[in-house]
């Protein structure tokens, strides 16, 4: 029996994307799945679907603050969040970061997982900027990329090829029905199954015939 293709559409501005990313990266070694990381642009999805950041609703923002803390503990991912972070998110564009990640995916895909992780760590654990070129290069260095590779990828983010690839990935997520991130799409029994958020992974396992072993299986 072939492996089930599971696509993870994500943006490093999204803390829930980080939670889903880490758990799926753990389960790719346990479940019979082919995990495909699909860096997209959350801002583009929001615009195309008419969605709005949940933190713009005061009561929802209040809940998210508690929810992310609980989920970070449950999934054992070092997300740290305060009420101040909601404003920080609204003032930060992840477009350059996601184009940089896309450029690396296109040229040096073996760095895609560690690079994405380092962007989340910088933004959600260290509470540092990820939008400026110097910050992006710092993240790349932490992920193990050479200065030469990092500089080349940074130059690529303004190219039509990279811009188009990121837009195409974002559009593909929307076609599957995504209205936010993370969006997980499992291709099973000849059709795509969309799961939104990082708290549907147990259900994902049930649909594709795999057993959920908890947030940090050993």
Catalytic residues: 14
Least Cα distance to 81 among 91, 67, 93 occurs for 67
Tokens of 64: 């998210």
Q: Going by C-beta distance under 8 Å and a sequence separation of 6 or more, which residues neighbour residue 122?
A: 128, 130, 135, 138, 139, 142
Question: In angstroms, how far is CA 120 from the centroid of its own chain?
Answer: 9
């Amino acid at each position: 029996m072939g492996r089930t293709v599971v696509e993870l559409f994500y943006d490093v501005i999204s803390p829930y994307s980080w939670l889903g990313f880490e758990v799926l990266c753990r389960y790719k070694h346990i479940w019979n799945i082919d995990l495909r990381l699909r860096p997209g642009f959350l801002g583009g999805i929001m615009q195309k679907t008419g969605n709005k950041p949940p933190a713009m609703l005061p009561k929802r923002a209040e809940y998210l603050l508690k929810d992310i803390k609980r989920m970070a503990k449950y999934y054992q991912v070092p997300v740290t969040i305060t009420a101040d972070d909601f404003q920080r998110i609204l003032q930060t564009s992840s477009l350059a970061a996601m184009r940089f990640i896309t450029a690396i995916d296109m040229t040096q895909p073996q760095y895609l997982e560690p690079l994405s992780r380092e962007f989340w760590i910088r933004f959600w654990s260290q509470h540092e900027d990820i939008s400026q070129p110097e910050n992006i290069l710092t993240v790349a260095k932490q992920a193990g990329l050479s200065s030469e590779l990092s500089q080349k990828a940074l130059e690529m983010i303004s190219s039509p090829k990279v811009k188009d690839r990121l837009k195409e990935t974002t559009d593909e997520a929307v076609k599957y029905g995504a209205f936010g991130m993370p969006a997980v799409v499992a291709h099973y029994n000849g059709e795509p199954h969309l799961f939104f958020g990082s708290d549907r992974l147990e259900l994902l396992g049930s649909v594709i015939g795999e057993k959920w072993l908890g947030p940090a299986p050993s």
